[in-house]
Amino acid sequence: MPLTATAQDESASKADYSVIKTIKAPKGDETDSYRSIATQNGAKTDPRYVTELEGQLASGKAKANPRSRIKRTKPIHLNGFGVVLAVGIFLGGLFLWMKFGGSGILLSRDPTDTSPNTSAPDNWKISNSEINLDANSRLSQIAAMPDRGAAMVLLLRYCLLAAAQTTSTRFARSDTERSAFGRLPNHWPHLGGLETVLQQAELAHYGGRPVSDGVFDKALETGRSILNANQKARAV
């Protein structure tokens, strides 16, 4: 029994072998033919010469060489989460570009300063000293203007700035008259009258429609109510 066990152990130890080192087989005249035949028969082969071996090559099964093992990290499969993450990154980048890289107006923030001393938007060309004139001085200036279309626009701008001061609304530097009007609160009592002035000014200045005496007088009356109300609020 001991002899049998010993023979079995020796047989088992020779059953497997490990290739420690190899070198590529040298290329000869038959190399191309050999690879062509192997390919035609669906065989994948890479002939190499064994230079260092543990065990018996003639019998047994090759064992993995512990020296040649390469640690490989498992690929990360994000599946659906990866798609969502990629889309989120893309949309975030697009938002930042539209916010800071584009024209700067598309997603411009509403002004947050609620200071009553509201400055006029840049393209209105109205200084703070003009804004602070009393109501009668501004109305007299507008009534004396020979161009009724330009007078309507100036009246509209004065009224918008007075409304902004009364309601603590701040306009953006790039605001047009219509976008500035859209910032005013709905509860402001003169909103309807100012909207009529806005429409008439647009028709006159941008549409080329003549301003009749009746339309102009009505606009001046609305403007006087708005400017006087603002003047009284500032005096309190």
Distance CA 207, CA 64 (A): 88
Sequence-distant (≥ 6) Cβ neighbours of residue 118 within 8 angstroms: 131, 161, 164, 165, 169, 170, 171
Shortest CA distance to 182 belongs to which of 206, 191, 154, 207? 191
Distance CA 85, CA 78 (A): 9
Return the DSSP state at 211: P
| pTM over the 0.95 mark | no
What confidence tens digit (pLDDT) does each residue in 202-225 have? Answer: 999 888 899 999 999 999 999 999
Task: Provide the angle, in degrees to the nearest 10, between the axes of the packed helices 213-235 and 191-205.
Answer: 130
- pLDDT of residue 4 exceeding 50: no
Residue 188: burial class (beta carbons within 10 Å; 0-12, 13-18, 19+)? middle
Return the DSSP state at 206: T
Give domain limits for the chain. Answer: 15-68, 73-108, 122-235
- pLDDT of residue 100 exceeding 60: no
The band of 116, judged by pLDDT with boundaries at 50, 70 and 90, is very low
- pLDDT of residue 104 exceeding 50: no
Q: What is the end-to-end Cα distance of the chain in Å, rounded? A: 119
Q: What is the pLDDT of residue 119?
A: 78
What confidence tens digit (pLDDT) does each residue in 171-195 have? Answer: 999 999 999 999 999 999 999 999 9
3-state secondary structure of 61: strand
